Each structure stands twice: as C-alpha cells, then as structure tokens.
C-alpha cells in the first residue's frame, strides 16, 4: 500500500505516516570506477583520504634523480655509502666521508685548526730576490691577523745554481719576524758551501729554531716570517737564473680569550 494512503480499519479510514530508514554503504566496490569514467583533473586533493595512496599506487616514474621506488616499492634515497649513508632511517654524512679533494682551497682557516697542527708554506725566490735579501727581506709566511702569533719550527732551503756562481763574504741568512730589524727566530743559516755553487748544482740546507727565544708578545703578535740576509747583499750570477725554493714549517698560536 503506498505510503500516506488511508487504511481501512473497523469502518474507519486511518492515515499511516512514517519514515523509511535506508542504509547505504558509502564504499565503492573495487574497480567500480574506471579512469575513463573520471574527467581530467576530476579528483581534487581534498577528495583523497589521508593515507589512501599506498606505494602500490605510485608510478615508478615519480622517483627522480637520486630517488628510487614506486610501482609497489617504497620511495628511498640513493646513497653512495662512501660519503653519505642511511643510519637509523636518517640521511647523514658518513664518518670520514669528506675527502681532501672535496675541500675548497682555503676553506679551512686558522680558527678551524688546533694550535698544535703543524703547517707549512712553500715559496720560490728568483735570483734577483736572493741577491737583494739584505736590502729587502723576503716574506715566507704572511701575518695571521690580530691575536695570532706564528711559532717558527724549521725550514728547508734548496738552491738551484745558475749559469754563474752567486758570491758571498760571510753573509749568512736568518729567519725573523716582520723585517730586518725584527727578532731573529732561527739560528744563523751558513751560506758558505751552499750559496756559492757551480752551474747545474742543487744544494740543500736547513734552518732550526733558536733555543729560549724570549720576546714581548706584542712584538710577535700578527707578525710575518721573513728571510733576511744578516750581512750584505749577494753578488754574482749575472744571468739571474739561479732559484731558491724554501719550505717553512710553523704553528699558529691563538691568543686565549679574556
């Protein structure tokens, strides 16, 4: 009998009014909607239930360079396991993973080095510079800035003799702070038998630090290391083709804070 129609009971018409409860399952059956039944861009992000997209629903091409996964496989990051690694689910720099070749030149300064780290500098002097050392001492290591003192350790000097011999008359060398008037840090470097050698000869000598050097700290702070001729300028080698190569080892003492 249609809803709302009169119903006869004991000679009377009685109207029946009621509500119908209809339960509808909101879940769509698997495969009930195909791609062809959805318009382009028909499904918006807000219509996708949180957590509804599983790894199986991701296409493999979702992974770009350095990423793998999709098509049923979890997305993951490729690592070389030499410099970068996965540890406990975290991407991190591997212990010892940065090689020297990966460091930009000059990126590590004195503040990054422990004072105990032994450093070195290499320089080359032309014949003209060697002959002028008494007049113009040659800078071996630049001043390191206020609050930093260079501690001289040792040096190696190599002379490649030129066409003509360099001449000296008791003119030894020394390593000092600042300039010719600065504190001498090395013992005298004997030049007889070293500087006055014949063509084609390569000679090697060394410089060692003086014992018990005592200086006011202000006279050593932020001072360069220089090579000085303690006597008169060398002469000879008219062709100016002799060369002196020097390696100097040193540490940098950083003044403690207040």
Q: What is the CATH classification number for the domain harbouring 237?
A: 2.60.120
Both 189 and 167 in one domain: the answer is: yes
Output the pLDDT for position 14: 55
- Residues of the domain holding 92: 51-102
H or E element that contains 129: helix 127-131
Count of structural domains, the chain: 2
Q: Is residue 9 part of a domain?
A: no
Does residue 233 lie within any of the structural domains? Answer: yes
Q: Is residue 125 part of a domain?
A: yes
pLDDT in tens, 142-189: 999 998 999 999 999 999 999 999 999 889 999 999 999 999 999 999
User: Which pLDDT band holds residue 84 (cuts at 50, 70, 90)?
Assistant: confident
Which of 22-26, 143-147, 246-250 bottoms out in mean pLDDT, i.e. has the lowest? Answer: 22-26
With tokens 């990126």, the residue in question is 107
Same domain, 70 and 117: no
- Domain shared by 75 and 153, yes or no: no
Is the distance from CB of 228 to CB of 125 less than 8 angstroms?
Answer: no
């Amino acid at each position: 009998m249609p809803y709302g129609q009169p119903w006869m009971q004991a000679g009377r018409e009685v109207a029946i009014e009621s509500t119908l409860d209809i339960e509808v399952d909101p879940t769509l059956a698997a495969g009930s909607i195909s791609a062809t039944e959805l318009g382009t861009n028909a499904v918006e992000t807000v219509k996708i239930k949180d957590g509804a997209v599983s790894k199986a629903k991701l296409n493999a091409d979702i992974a770009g360079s350095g990423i793998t996964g999709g098509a049923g496989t979890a997305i993951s990051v490729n690592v070389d396991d030499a410099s970068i690694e996965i540890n406990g689910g975290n991407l991190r720099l591997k212990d010892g993973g940065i090689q020297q070749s990966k460091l930009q030149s000059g990126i590590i300064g004195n503040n990054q080095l422990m004072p105990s780290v032994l450093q070195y500098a290499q320089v080359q002097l032309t014949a003209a510079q060697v002959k002028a050392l008494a007049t113009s001492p040659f800078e071996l290591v630049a001043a390191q800035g206020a609050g930093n003192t260079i501690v001289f350790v040792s040096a190696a000097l190599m002379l490649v003799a030129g066409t003509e011999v360099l001449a000296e008359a008791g003119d030894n060398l020394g390593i000092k702070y600042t300039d010719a008037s600065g504190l001498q840090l090395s013992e005298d470097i004997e030049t007889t038998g070293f500087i006055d050698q014949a063509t084609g000869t390569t000679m090697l000598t060394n410089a060692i630090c003086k014992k018990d050097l005592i200086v006011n700290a202000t006279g050593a702070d932020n001072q360069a290391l220089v090579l000085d001729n303690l006597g008169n300028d060398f002469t000879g080698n008219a062709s100016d083709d002799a060369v002196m190569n020097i390696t100097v080892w040193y540490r940098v003492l950083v003044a403690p804070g207040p």
